[in-house]
Chains A and B, each alone.
Chain A
Amino acid sequence: MADNNKFIVSHAPFWHDGSKISTRNYNMAFAAFPAILLGIIYYGMSAVGVISLAISSAIIWELAFCRIAKRPITIGDGNAAIIGLLFGMLLPATAPWWLVIIGTFVAIIIGKQIYGGIGGNAFNPVVVAMAILMISWKDIFDFNEALINYDFDFAMVYPLAALKHFGVSAVDSFSMGDLLMGKQSGGIGATFGIGLIVGGIYLIIRGIIRWEIAFSFLFGVFLTALIFNMTDSARYAGPVIHLFTGYTLIGAFFLATEDSSSPVNFIPMLIYGAGAGLMTVLIRNIGVYVDGVIFALLIMNLVNPLLDKIKPKAIGKVA
């Protein structure tokens, strides 16, 4: 037996190590902060308005639901706040107030509470809300149209839209450095690559998200984009564009890793992440949607219970 110590359990009393759900969630907010800060620097008070309203309305929806359903008030765990925060990060800075409020309603009530609250949801609430809203009001999520009045020192064409409509030559001017520094149009908190990566690594080190999911997702995007690019580099952009534009990075570190909708075992986590990465690039390259992250994650959320059937062998059992 490799490690017998694993099976030795001391008797009570036990000592709680002090970790709480709220600590995890506020750590996530902390990790997301650099990316949001850059969004606020670029888009000013509009971005502040969207993010603030998203967080507060998410908390209020959860509070309202708990009261109406006569369930314990769960807003203290910070999960509603983090759902609102992540949802706000994906929106364009020009998102109207009613869209934010409808979005957090869908995320909190339809995405989470009707499944029984935290930990019960089959799909990532933020992704459910985004998917429903993107299909319902697609013009608002057309970043070229939404951010039409913003003028910065970089090209304000949404890279993935340019890629889809005008081909690889239209995105040649985007350098990896600029994309990582957030010099691209997109969601409020979704464009600052370095900020998202640093935040993600912080969460991985703190043990809040699983590196297996985040990195296998990025690897899936990279490999699929590379294969497409190698088959026809005139039609399909290289991996750099796919990795650092759209919702790829925020998806890898903040959306795909959501606890209750992602697998828990090693192999399933790798399949889940890589599958979502693969689907993302498939949707971007041959699907009709400009960005595929949201729908790819939704599909992989659906597969998640099946993936978790792949279990490690029970230790000590004779085959």
Chain B
Amino acid sequence: MVTSSGTVKKRSPIAQTAGDRIFGFFNGVFIVLITVLTLYPLIYVLSASISSPSAVVSGRMWLWPVDLTWEGYDRIMQNQEIWLGYRNTILYVVIQIAVSLLTTLPAAYALTIKPLPGRKVLVFLFSVTMFFSGGMIPLYVINRNLGLVNTLWAVVLPSATSMWYIILTRTFYQSTIPLELEEASQIDGCSPFGTFLRVVMPLSGAIIAVMALYFGVGRWNSYFGEMIFFRDRNLYSLQLFLREILIIAQFSEENTSNADAITMAEQIRISSIIKYATMIVATIPLIAAYPFIQRYFVKGVLIGSIKG
């Protein structure tokens, strides 16, 4: 053992065996293939949003933009309320992430404590909510009784957490944080809160990042609750404004009995690129945010904490 590990040590980590090289090669090929497969439709969507609609439909546009036009984006940007929507949505996302992490992370940790009395009952009762829900009207009544209607809490609080995410977080804690570490901190005189804050939290940057992403994206893409609970236009989120733009574009398709038939016909033409453009307007920030999440997927956090 000692000798073999000694020889390995000399060769590692830079030198690779032939098998590792072959593996690396095929792995590289796989990655390239996947990347091309995903990249193509992404470029297609981007190009479609700035190409003439007829070029897209007739297949003349298949990769790069053809007959460049900014009409789709023009139409969206004409709407001053888009910026209000961005502002509101970002605010809601931030608040949602804060509320959800405060609800989810401690609960998931408490549920890892095996001897906790009532743990199984709670997990069971929480899990039921993944499958059964009372529907919109009772939820509306509760929100109204709590005085939440027409405030951001009417959409943030009802999605404060979800059992699915609590279970994922719990599983992550269980599989990555060594029990000895927690026990050691308890022996050192740390309270459960202290253990959670000083031992568990610093080690779970990755899952916190993932949960923030899940809850944040959920809020970002949501529109149904916003549609029902917001009366005041100043509260509207980006998705609501974008849906309005799409409805107006479709309206031109249906609306025919009017004086100004010529203008309407023009709008039918661009309604399909508005579809692509709104999607991109709604998505770019989510993609831009991803690198910030990626930072937390770095190995070696654990080692530092053990030594420290």
**Are A and B associated in one complex?**
no
Residues of B within 8 A of A (CB): none
